[in-house]
Amino acid sequence: MSEAVVPPRALWVPFPLGRPLGAVDDSEFQKNVMRTAFRLLETAVEPTIEDYEIQAPGEGFNENWSCPLNLTPESSGSLTERLLAEVALLRPWAIETRRQRGRTLFGASGAQEDQVDEMARAFASIAETSDVTSELVVDDVAWAFEMPLLLRHIADDLRTFYHEAVAAQPGDNAPDHDALNRWIFDETVLGEALLLVADGLTKASDSPMAQLVRGLLIPEGHYRGGSAFPQQTNFPINPET
Amino acid sequence: MVRLSDLHPVEAEHLAARALAMPATGPGEWVTPRPLDQATVAIVSTAGLHRRIDLPFTVGSLDYRIIPGDTQFDDLVLSHISANFDRSAFGQDPNIVFPIDRLREFASSGEIGGVARWHYSFMGAMPDPSQFEKAGEEIGRLMAEDGVDVAFLVPI
Nearest residue, CB atoms, B88 vs list A102, A180, A237: A180
Q: Report the alpha-carbon distance of residue A136 to residue A131 in Å, rounded.
A: 10
Evaluate if residue A241 carries a pLDDT over 50.
no
Q: Which of residues A234 and A174 earns the better pLDDT score? A: A174
Please report which residue ranges of A47-188 form alpha helices under DSSP H. Answer: 79-101, 116-129, 149-167, 177-187
Q: Report the alpha-carbon distance of residue B42 to residue B137 in Å, rounded.
A: 15
Residues with Cβ within 8 Å of residue A48, at least 6 apart in sequence: A8, A9, A10, A40
Mean pLDDT in chain A?
89
Range in A45-59, A151-165, A167-181, A207-221 with the lowest mean pLDDT = A167-181
Q: Which of residues A68 and A140 earns the better pLDDT score? A: A140
A38 and B131 within 8 Å at the Cβ level: the answer is no
User: What DSSP assignment string belongs to B56-69?
Assistant: PP-TTB---EEEET
Strands B65-68, B118-121: pairing is antiparallel
Mean pLDDT in chain B?
91
User: What DSSP assignment string belongs to B79-106?
Assistant: ----SSS--HHHHH-GGGTS-HHHHHHH
Nearest residue, CB atoms, B102 vs list A27, A167, A236: A27
The question of ipTM being above 0.90 is answered as: yes
Q: Which of residues A97 and A230 earns the better pLDDT score? A: A97
Residue A220: per-residue pLDDT: 87
Residue A75: per-residue pLDDT: 66
B154 and A20 within 8 Å at the Cβ level: the answer is yes
Evaluate if residue A14 carries a pLDDT over 80.
yes
B30 near A CB under 8 A: yes
**Which chain B residue has the Cα nearest residue A144?**
B56
Q: Is the peptide bond before B127 cis (omega within 30 degrees of 0)?
A: no
B156 near A CB under 8 A: yes
Q: Report the alpha-carbon distance of residue A39 to residue A26 in Å, rounded.
A: 20
Backbone angles phi, psi at B113, to 5 degrees: -75, -35
Q: Can you give the pTM of this predicted structure?
A: 0.91
Q: Report the alpha-carbon distance of residue B42 to residue A217 in Å, rounded.
A: 32
pLDDT band per the 50, 70, 90 thresholds, residue A72: confident
Residue A239: per-residue pLDDT: 55
